[in-house]
Amino acid sequence: MLILATTTPGEPEIFGSLQGEGPSIGRPCAFVRLSRCNLACTWCDTAYTWRFEGDNRPHRDDRAFTRTANQIALSEEDVAARIMALGQDRLVVTGGEPLLQGAALARMLALLEGVSVEIETNGTVAPHPALDPLISQYNVSIKLKHSGNPIELSQIPERMVGWAGKPQAWFKFVIATPDDLSEVLDLQARYALPKARIMVMPEGTTSAAIRERTGWLAPLALDHGLRFTDRLHIHLYGDTRGT
């Protein structure tokens, strides 16, 4: 079984859209959003995947979600059939933290035909051995200090070294202030992250906030030789589920 997020109670968050971030930005894809996360970013825009009633980890909205309305369990066969019905040749698995469900995810992906797969991950969980050969691309979003997570949980040296040596790994950093760039550059140097596969992205859940940060982040990316990625889905659809 896989534990998924929902768009509305009882409806799993499986949908077709344009990839909004990272190296595949603008590409038509199928998406599946899994539930549960081992981190708790204060600015997380999908807190409904982990901040359930009774979870007191901090979040700027301070909102708790009902688990039964925001989580659903489906068989691997059911999830695979729903993905194939979307008719896309690219799948993005996001969350939450998808690698927490690595074994079940591997069983589901093995049922797909003609679909390449990319996974959004926070980089703290090693890929399951059965899962890794099925993945074309990892979008590794390492969480910086401003995320509010303890560094010992969000930047695990062993995991960082492992991702740095994985050719299908891209690194996406959420940037809230210009000072965050110094932390990115320090991590790049410390763990030999391939600079050509580092992307910086403005934090924000509105077009206005993203554009404001883009105004100073894009020039900084150019100055430091880093790729810049927008949040296309926010501009197109707003901060909504199933988009």
Looking at residue 90, what is its pLDDT? 98
pLDDT of residue 102: 98
103-130 pLDDT, tens digit per residue, is: 999 999 999 999 999 999 999 999 999 9
Q: Are strands 90-94 and 28-33 parallel, antiparallel or unpaired?
A: parallel
pLDDT, one tens digit per residue, over 127-149 is 999 999 999 999 999 999 999 99
Domain 2-171 has CATH 3.20.20: yes
Residue closest to 173 by CA, chosen among 220, 215, 116: 220
Strand order in the sheet with 169-175: 14-18, 28-33, 90-94, 116-121, 137-140, 169-175, 198-202, 227-228
The residues spanned by each domain of the chain are 2-171
Name the pTM for this structure: 0.97
Q: Which residues pair with 173 in a beta bridge?
A: 200
pLDDT tens, residue by residue, 182-213:
999 999 999 999 999 999 999 999 999 999 99
Q: What does the DSSP assignment read for 153-210? A: HHS-HHHHHHHHT-TTEEEEEEESSTTHHHHHHHHHHHHT--GGGEEEEE--SSHHHH
The CA angle 184-187-193, to the nearest 5 degrees, is: 100
Cα dist from 70 to 50, 64, 67, 96, 233, whole Å: 9, 11, 5, 12, 21
Q: At which residue do the structure tokens 């008719």 appear?
A: 87
